[in-house]
Structure 1
Amino acid sequence: MPTLMMTKVKDSLDASMKKKAYAFFEKLTQDDTLPGLHIEPIKGSVDGRVRTGRVDDNFRAVMFKLVTQDDSVYVLCGVWPHDKANKIAEAISLTINPVSGVPEVAGVLDALRQAPASASHSVAPVERPAGPASAVSGGLPTGTRQVPPTGGSPSSEVRAAPAEGRTDAPAKKTAAVELGGVAPSWPAGLTLDVLISELGINEKLASAAFAASTDLALTDVVEHADIEWQGLALLDLATGESVEHVKETYGLAPAVASAPAPVGPTQREISDEEVVETLKSDKARNSFFWIKDNDELRRIIEAGDFGAWRLFLHPEQRTYVERDFAGSFRLSGGAGTGKTVVAIHRAARLARANPQARILLTTYTVNLASDLKVSLRKLDESIPEQSVLDQPGVYIKGIDAVAWAVIQRAGEAVAGAAEAVLGAPSVSVLKTTPPGAWAEAIRDSGAQLPSALATPTFMASEYELVVLPHKITSAMQYLRARRNGRGVSLDRAKRAEVWKVIEAYREKARAAGTTDFGEKAAIAAEWLRQSDAPLFDHVIVDEAQDLAPTRMQLLRALVAEGPNDLFICEDSHQRIYGQKVTLSHCGISIRGRSRRLTLNYRTTAQNLAWAMRVLNPGAFTDLEGAQEQHHYVSARSGPQPAEHSEASVSAELDRAANWVRRWMPDPEAESDAGRATAPEAIAILVRDKYKRENVVQGLADRGVSVRSVDREDVKAGLPLVMTMHRAKGLEFTHVLLFGVQDGSIPVSLKDYSTSEEDTKDAMLRERSLLYVAATRARDVLAVSWAGEKSPLL
C-alpha cells in the first residue's frame, strides 16, 4: 500500500474541496492503480517523478511518486484547478540541496505566479503565509488609503471617501500607519559566497536579501522564497545570528562528496531509495511530514492552514520540544512566536516517552486551558488525557482548577495547611469568597487609612503579593515583612491599620467557609509541601506571566525538583492580569536555563510593527527580573494596518459593517484576495463586555450577523465579537480593533493611584492588552475609534 508524505507548500486549502481531497488520498493509500484516480506523469515536466491525480472533474492533485523496494511513497504538494495544477506539475522538482543535503521542493511559487488568472481557488493541505501587500489589498474597503513604508513614524491623517453605500456620511479621517523598518544586521564578514557555497541558499534569493535595505523589505523577499527554510535562515542571519548557529539550527551539515545532487534534467538521477532515506532524516522534518494513517490524513485536511502547527516545527521550536533539561526551564517570546505550540508538543513528547508519566499542562484562564486540551487532542489523539490527580497521562486544567482539585484531594488533612496560611485551621476552604468582600472589610474594620490605601484594589494586591506568599498570619509578622516592589511605603502605623482590614477580611471568610483563589493556591501549595508528595513528574505552564506568586508557589510544589520538572512559557509583553512576579522569589530556580524565541510565525511584519509600537514607551521585565527586549521579526508580509477616525459611534459601526462584508468569504467572487478563509476567521475585538454587546446589536441593525463570544468555546459560521481579554490565545486572519478611543483604552487608572509605581504598572497592562489584541491578526489589521483616539496610539 502506498505511503503518503505531506510537504509544506505555500498555498491555501479551499474548504469546498476538503471532502473530495480526503476521498482521493484515502483511495490512493489503498491502491494507486485504481483507474478513477488517473495517476499520470506530466509530459515535459522538469522532474520525471511528478504526478497528477484526478480529484474531480475540475481539480487535480500534484505530487511526487517515489518507488522503493517496499512500496510507493507519494509526496503530496497540493490540489489545484486543472490548468493551474498542470502548470505547477510541469515546473516543480523534488531536490536534495547539493551543499547541505536538505530535501527541497522547488518551483512552486514561480509556477503559481504564472498560473492562469482564472484559477482563483486552490487547495493545498498546509499553511499559506499571506502574500505581499498588493496581493491582499482587496481587503481594504472604499475610502481607505494605504501609505507605503517610509521610515517608521505614523502618517498624518488624510481625508477619506465616505463609507461604501452612503452619500450622506460625514467626512472621515483615515490614517494608514506608516511602518518602515531598520536595516538588517548581517553578521560581520558575511558574503554572498558564504550564503551560496556554505549554506546552500539560492543565489537569486541571497542577492535579493542582501539588496533589501530594511527589515520589512527583507520580510517581503523572505516570504517569496521558493524554499521556506532558506528564507528563515536569511531572517536569522539578518538579525545577527552567526553562520554556525544557522548551520546547527537547520541541520546544514556539509554534504559529502557522494551526496545526491538535485533531481532534474541537468543533474544525475538519484535513486528513489536515496530520496526516501533523505526524507526520513531530521533535516527533512522542517518541510516534510509522514502521514501515519487515514485518521491523521483527515485531521490534516480538515484543519487546513490553521493546522500547520501540528505538522511543521521550526528547528528552534523542535529543540525546546525534544531537549531534556537538568531542572526548571523558561521559554520566552513575543506573541506568535510559537510558545504554546512548543508547550503542547512537549507535553505530547514527554507522554510518548514515558506512558507512566504524570504531566500537568496548565495556564491561567479557563478558556486557554480548554484551548490547550483541544489542541493536544488535535495533535495526537492517542495521548492519554487524565482527569484525576496523580495518575499517568496529561492533566489539563487552569491553575485555579488545579488548586481546587488539590484541596479536594487533601480532604480534612487540609486544615493544617489552612492554619499555616490563614492563621486558623479550617477544612471549609473550597467555596469561593464573593466579590465585594474587600470593600466590606474596609468598611467593617474601622481602619483609619488614607483614601488612596482604603481601596479594594490596593488591599487585594497587598494581600496577593505580600501577605499570602510569605504566609503572614499575625500583625507582628506583617510589621516586619519586606514589601519589595510594592511602590508605596507603609510606616508601622499604616501597616497596623492595613492589618485590621486583612483580619476583618479573613474573619468574615472563615465564618462563611470561603477562600479566594489566591488563598486556595497558597493552601494547596502548603499541603503539598507538608505531605511531601508531589503529584506530577512534569509541569508545563503556558502564559506564566499572568500567574500571581501563590500560583507560582503551587507550580513549584506540584513537582519535585529534578530533570524536566518545570517548563515555563511566558511573555512579559502579554501580562494583562496581575502584577510583576519574579520566579526566584517563588522558589523556582532557573540557573541560566532560559531562552527566547524571536521569530513570529503568525503576524505579518506590518501588523507586528504596529503592535510593537504600542509597547515601545513601556519598560517590561521578564520572570527573572531582567529587562525584556522588544525585538521580534516576522517571516510574513501583508498590508499595512489601517487606522480609522470616525465622527460618531454610528459612523464607526458603518465602517465596521463595510469591513466585515468585504472580508467575508464569497465563493462567487472572482478572486478571494483579501477575504477570510472562513467567517469565524474574522474577529472584532473590544475593550469590555458592554461595548461587545453594543457592536453585536449595531452590526445586526446594519444587516451584518456576528456572534458574541464570552466564556463559551468559539463556534464556526459567523464573524466573532469578543473582548480583547477573551481573544488571548486565539488567532484570526482578519481583526478589527473597535472603539480604541481615549477613555476606553486605557481605562480609568484611579484604582491604581496608590503610587506612581502602581499607576505605571497598570498602564503597562493596558499597553499589553492592546498589543495582545493586535497580534491576534494573521493577515489584516484595522483599528477604529470615534472621537479622540487612544493615547496608546
Structure 2
Amino acid sequence: MPLLEMMNPKEKLEKDLKVKVFDFLGKLQESDAIPGLHIEPLNNVADPRVRTGRVDIQYRAVLFKLDLKVGVKYVYVGTWNHDDAIKRAQRMRLSVNAVGGFTEIVEEEPEAASVVVDGGAGPFGGAAAPALSQLEQWGFTAADLTGRLGLSASLATAAMAAPDKEALLEIAVRDGGWQGEALMYLHDGLSLDDIRAKFSLDEPVEQDPEDSEDERIEKGFEHPTARAQFTFVGDQDELQKAIEATDFGAWRVFLHPDQRKYATKHYNGAFRLSGGAGTGKTVVLVHRARELWKANPDARIVLTTYTKNLADMLASNVRQLDPEVPLASALGEPGVYVTNVDALIARVLKGAGLGVAAASEAVLGLPVTHVSNRTANDAWQAAIDAAGSALPDELKTPGFFAAEYSMVVLPSRISNRAEYFSVARPGRGVALNRAARAKVWAVIEAYRASANIDGAIDYEEAAAIAASHVSLAGGDARLADHVLVDEGQDLTPARWQFLRALAPEGPDDLFIAEDSHQRIYGQKVVLGRYGIRIVGRSQRLTLNYRTTEQNLQWAVSVLSGAEYSDVEGAEESTAGYHSARLGPVPELVSCSSVTEEYDAVASRLLAWLDEDGVAPESLAVLVRDKATQARLATALGDRGVTVQQVDRGSIRAGHPSVLTMHRAKGTEFARVVLAGVSAGAVPAAMRSEQYSSDSEADALLRERSLLYVAATRARDVLVVTWAGAKSSLLDAAEREA
C-alpha cells in the first residue's frame, strides 16, 4: 500500500472533479497497480520521479514517486487538463532546498524570450531598464537570494532584473509559493536575517548522509516550511479533509511557518499578534488553543471574541481543526471554552451569587443584585434630560456620556463626585474643569439612580462588576489558565479588565489577536492602562491569504490619510500589507438614482449566477445598515434575484447573501458588491460624536475601518456601487490610487 503526501493545491477544483480526485487518490493508497490509474513516467522531464495518473478521460494528476525504506510514497501535486498536466509535470522538480533543508517543488519555467527595448533587450517592456535593478539599488545580489534565502536560480534571476518595486512585487505574487513570499518581505524592507527567521532557514531537518536522495526528501517534509506546503495523508478521513481544504480548511491542513511559530511558542506573559485582514490571526488562535490543550489536557482555555457570530465561527473552526479537542460546556471546566465576551461576563455574574453585591459596591459605590437586566437604549438621554440642563450644548449627547463612562468612570472604579474630580482622563479629547465635572457627574448620578430603580445595569457595568468579582475571589478562584482573544481592537476597558482577571498572570496567560485598522466598535484603548503589559511581546503579520492584491490595495487606500494607533498606543501602519494572489481591479459603478443602482446590483448578481460553477452562497452584497439591507433585499427580489438576509444566523447555501458591513466581519465571499456607498450613507451620520473634534475624528476612523473590513471580505471580485454623490471615503481611495 503506497503512502501518500499531498501538496497544498494552488488551483481550486470544481466539486465534481474533487470527487473524482478523491476516488483516484483513494485507489492509489490501496495500490498503484489498480487498473485504470495509469501511473506513468514521462519523457523530457526535469525530475525522473515525476508521474501522471488518469483521473478521468480529460484530467490527469501530477505526482512524484519516492522509493523509501518503508515502501513507496507518492506526492500528489495537483490535477489539470491532460495537456497542461503533462507540461507542468515535465517542468517540476521535487528536491531538498539547499539552504533551508526542507522539501519543496520548483517549477522550472522555460526561458522567456527577450523583449527589444529601445534598441536593447530585457525582460521588462516599455522604457529601458535602469542601470541598477531595484534589488541592486537596495544592495542585494543574486547570491543573496540563492545562497542566503534558497530561492531558485530562475526566480532569483527574474527578481534581480526587476527595475522597480512594482515589478518586483508582481514577480513575488505570481510565484505563489514560499519563495514569492520571501520576495515580498524583501520588497517591504525586511533583512535577510529576518526572512531566514520567518521560514526557519536556520533550523534545517537533521539528515543522515548515508540516506538516499528519496529518503532525504522524505525527511525534508518535517520542516515547518515544508509543512506549510505538504501534508501526510494517513487514511480516507484525512484524504477527505485535504481534498476539501478550502478557506479555513486549507489552514487546518497547511499552516504557514510564521503562523505555526506563534501558535506553538511559549511566552512569559501576555502576547499580542497584530495583522491586517486575512493574514491568519484567527487561524493562529485556533491552532494555539489546540496546542495548549495538547500540552495539558486539564488546562482551562478560554477562546473568545466580541460578537456571538464570530464566537460561533471560532467554535466551528476548532471542531474542524481537530474534533478531539474538547469544547468545554461551562467556564472553568477543562478543555476549550468558546463564547463571546459578553456571554462570558453573564456567566460569571450568574455564578457569583451573593458575591455580586460586594463586587458591584466596589464598582458603583452601592451593592446591587439585579445583574441580569440591561438598561434601556435611551437611558443616557433620559439622564441628560433629567439632570443635564446646566451642561454646554456640545456635551448634551449620549455619545459623550457613554464614552466618558466606559473610558474613565468604570475602569477607574469611580463611585462618587470627589473621585471623579481627581481622576485622570487620558485620550478623551475634551477638557473638563472642576465646574464642568460637577455638571457631568450630576448626569452620571441620575443615570445610576434611574438604573437602580429599574433594577438594571448596562453592558459596561456588567463587565466591570464581573471583573471586580473575579479579582476579589483571588488567584485560586480564577476561572481559566489561558485566555485567547480574537478581534481585540473592538473591546472596551472594562471588558479588558475582566479578561485580564480571568487567568492569573504568568506564562501563556493572555494571547491577543487584533488589528487596529479593523476597529469598528468603541473607542481607542491602550492596554497598559488596564493591567495588560505586552511591551516586547508583540509581532505583526502582513501577508494576506484571503483576497487579491488588487482588492487589498483598494481596501487599504480607504485608510489613507488617517492616523491609527494600536492597543499599545503606538502608530499603526499598513506598510507591508500584501496579498499572495492576483485578480481583477475593483470595479466602481456610479448610478444616477437608487433605482438605477438596484438594477445594476441585480444585473451583476444574475450574470454571476449564470456562470458555470458559481455557488450562489459565494456571492454577497454588503450595505451600511439594516434598513438599507431590507430595502435592497426586497428590490432584488422584485428583479428576479432571490437572496438571504443574514443577521444573527449563519450563511446558508443556495442563495446570495445581503448583510450589513458590521455583520460581514469574519466572513468571506468569492465576489462582493459594496452597495450604497454614497455621500450621507458612508460615512454614516455622527451627530452623537460631535461633542469634540477628537471624538468626531475617531468616529470617522471607525467608518473608514468599516469600509476596509467590508472590502476585504471579497476573495476574487469586488464591485462598489453608489447613487448620486459618492462617499468622500471613495475620494480618499482614488487619491491614493
State the Cα deviation string for residues 58-117 of structure 1 (Å, max 9, x = none): 433322222323233221112333443344334433222344433222338879x9xxxx
Distance in 2, Cα, partners of 1:306 & 1:432: 36
Q: Which amino acid aligns with 1:240?
A: G
Match of 1:197 among 147, 168, 176: 147
Q: Residues 356 and 393 of structure 1 are in contact (CA less than 8 Å); yes or no, is this contact kept in structure 2?
A: yes
State the Cα deviation string for residues 162-213 of structure 1 (Å, max 9, x = none): xxxxxxxxxxxxxxxxxxxxx9677842112221233332233223223334
Distance in 1, Cα, partners of 2:231 & 2:205: 25
1:333 maps to 275
Distance in 2, Cα, partners of 1:105 & 1:236: 21
Change (3 A) 1:43 1:185: closer
Q: Which amino acid aligns with 2:495?
A: R
Distance in 1, Cα, partners of 2:78 & 2:88: 10
Q: Residues 186 and 239 of structure 1 are in contact (CA less than 8 Å); yes or no, is this contact kept in structure 2?
A: no
Q: Residues 333 and 570 of structure 1 are in contact (CA less than 8 Å); yes or no, is this contact kept in structure 2?
A: yes
- Indicate yes or no: 2:5 matched with 1:5: yes
Instruction: Report 1 or 2 for greater relative contact order, CA contacts < 8 Å, sequence distance ≥ 6.
Output: 1
- Indicate yes or no: 2:623 matched with 1:639: no
Change (3 A) 1:568 1:788: same
Distance in 1, Cα, partners of 2:369 & 2:660: 37
Question: How many correspondences in the alignment?
Answer: 708
1:592 maps to 536
SS at 2:394 equivalent: coil
State the Cα deviation string for residues 643-696 of structure 1 (Å, max 9, x = none): 1111111211222223223333733xxxx7xxx5x3222221111111112222
Deviation at 1:409, TM superposition (A): 1.8
Mapping of 1:527-566 within 5 angstroms?
527-532=469-474, 533-566=477-510
2:375 maps to 433
Mapping of 1:343-382 within 5 angstroms?
343-382=285-324
2:733 maps to none
Distance in 1, Cα, partners of 2:135 & 2:674: 33
Q: Residues 343 and 540 of structure 1 are in contact (CA less than 8 Å); yes or no, is this contact kept in structure 2?
A: yes
1:243 maps to 192
SS at 1:792 equivalent: helix
1:130 maps to none
SS at 2:197 equivalent: helix
- Indicate yes or no: 2:681 matched with 1:717: no
Match of 1:212 among 142, 162, 165: 162
Mapping of 1:394-409 within 5 angstroms?
394-409=336-351
Q: Which range moves more in the overlay, 723-732 or 649-658?
A: 649-658
Q: Which amino acid aligns with 2:497?
A: Q
Q: Which amino acid aligns with 1:787?
A: G
Change (3 A) 1:417 1:72: same
1:466 maps to 408
TM-score by length of 1: 0.85
Distance in 2, Cα, partners of 1:216 & 1:104: 27
State the Cα deviation string for residues 3-35 of structure 1 (Å, max 9, x = none): 322212321121222333323333333444433
2:618 maps to 681
Distance in 1, Cα, partners of 2:19 & 2:382: 59
RMSD: 2.6
Change (3 A) 1:630 1:99: closer
Distance in 2, Cα, partners of 1:363 & 1:186: 45
Match of 1:570 among 496, 514, 517: 514
Distance in 2, Cα, partners of 1:664 & 1:380: 34
Distance in 1, Cα, partners of 2:309 & 2:551: 25
Q: Residues 149 and 201 of structure 2 are in contact (CA less than 8 Å); yes or no, is this contact kept in structure 1?
A: yes
State the Cα deviation string for residues 361-411 of structure 1 (Å, max 9, x = none): 111111111111111111111111112111111111111111111111212
1:583 maps to 527
- Indicate yes or no: 2:603 matched with 1:653: no
Distance in 1, Cα, partners of 2:206 & 2:517: 48
1:390 maps to 332
Q: Residues 169 and 187 of structure 2 are in contact (CA less than 8 Å); yes or no, is this contact kept in structure 1?
A: no
Distance in 2, Cα, partners of 1:536 & 1:644: 50
SS at 2:94 equivalent: strand
Q: Residues 39 and 52 of structure 2 are in contact (CA less than 8 Å); yes or no, is this contact kept in structure 1?
A: yes
1:662 maps to 607
Q: Residues 61 and 80 of structure 1 are in contact (CA less than 8 Å); yes or no, is this contact kept in structure 2?
A: yes
Distance in 2, Cα, partners of 1:271 & 1:435: 70
Q: Residues 535 and 568 of structure 2 are in contact (CA less than 8 Å); yes or no, is this contact kept in structure 1?
A: no
SS at 1:23 equivalent: helix
Q: Residues 248 and 283 of structure 2 are in contact (CA less than 8 Å); yes or no, is this contact kept in structure 1?
A: no
1:60 maps to 60
SS at 2:595 equivalent: helix
Change (3 A) 1:482 1:271: closer
Deviation at 1:591, TM superposition (A): 2.8
Change (3 A) 1:108 1:655: farther
Distance in 1, Cα, partners of 2:208 & 2:159: 27
SS at 2:571 equivalent: coil
Match of 2:549 among 589, 593, 605: 605
SS at 2:677 equivalent: coil
Q: Which amino acid aligns with 2:593?
A: S
Change (3 A) 1:47 1:203: closer
Distance in 2, Cα, partners of 1:733 & 1:726: 17
Q: Which range moves more in the overlay, 653-662 or 639-648?
A: 653-662
Match of 1:452 among 381, 394, 397: 394
Q: Which range moves more in the overlay, 72-81 or 572-581?
A: 72-81
Change (3 A) 1:707 1:211: farther
Q: Residues 358 and 392 of structure 1 are in contact (CA less than 8 Å); yes or no, is this contact kept in structure 2?
A: yes
Deviation at 1:51, TM superposition (A): 3.1
Q: Which amino acid aligns with 1:689?
A: K
Distance in 1, Cα, partners of 2:434 & 2:389: 14
Q: Residues 173 and 579 of structure 2 are in contact (CA less than 8 Å); yes or no, is this contact kept in structure 1?
A: no
TM-score by length of 2: 0.91
Q: Which range moves more in the overlay, 431-440 or 397-406?
A: 431-440
Q: Which amino acid aligns with 1:328?
A: A
Q: Which amino acid aligns with 1:684?
A: V
Distance in 2, Cα, partners of 1:690 & 1:56: 50
Distance in 2, Cα, partners of 1:320 & 1:375: 18
Distance in 1, Cα, partners of 2:472 & 2:316: 34
Distance in 2, Cα, partners of 1:464 & 1:408: 22
Q: Residues 597 and 723 of structure 2 are in contact (CA less than 8 Å); yes or no, is this contact kept in structure 1?
A: yes
2:694 maps to 757
Change (3 A) 1:209 1:46: closer
Match of 1:524 among 466, 471, 475: 466
Change (3 A) 1:732 1:219: farther
Runs of 5+ unmatched residues, structure 1: 114-149, 151-182, 262-268
Q: Which amino acid aligns with 1:248?
A: A
Distance in 1, Cα, partners of 2:173 & 2:259: 19
Distance in 1, Cα, partners of 2:136 & 2:191: 9
Q: Which range moves more in the overlay, 689-698 or 393-402?
A: 689-698
Q: Percent identity?
A: 49
1:773 maps to 710
Deviation at 1:270, TM superposition (A): 4.5
SS at 2:75 equivalent: strand
Deviation at 1:328, TM superposition (A): 0.6
Match of 2:680 among 743, 746, 749: 743
SS at 1:5 equivalent: strand
Distance in 1, Cα, partners of 2:624 & 2:691: 24
Distance in 1, Cα, partners of 2:343 & 2:108: 48
Q: Residues 37 and 53 of structure 1 are in contact (CA less than 8 Å); yes or no, is this contact kept in structure 2?
A: yes
Q: Residues 108 and 154 of structure 2 are in contact (CA less than 8 Å); yes or no, is this contact kept in structure 1?
A: no
Q: Which range moves more in the overlay, 59-68 or 679-688?
A: 59-68
Distance in 2, Cα, partners of 1:328 & 1:478: 30
1:222 maps to 172
Q: Which range moves more in the overlay, 567-576 or 21-30?
A: 21-30
Match of 1:511 among 453, 478, 484: 453
- Indicate yes or no: 2:253 matched with 1:311: yes
Change (3 A) 1:186 1:462: farther
Deviation at 1:307, TM superposition (A): 2.5
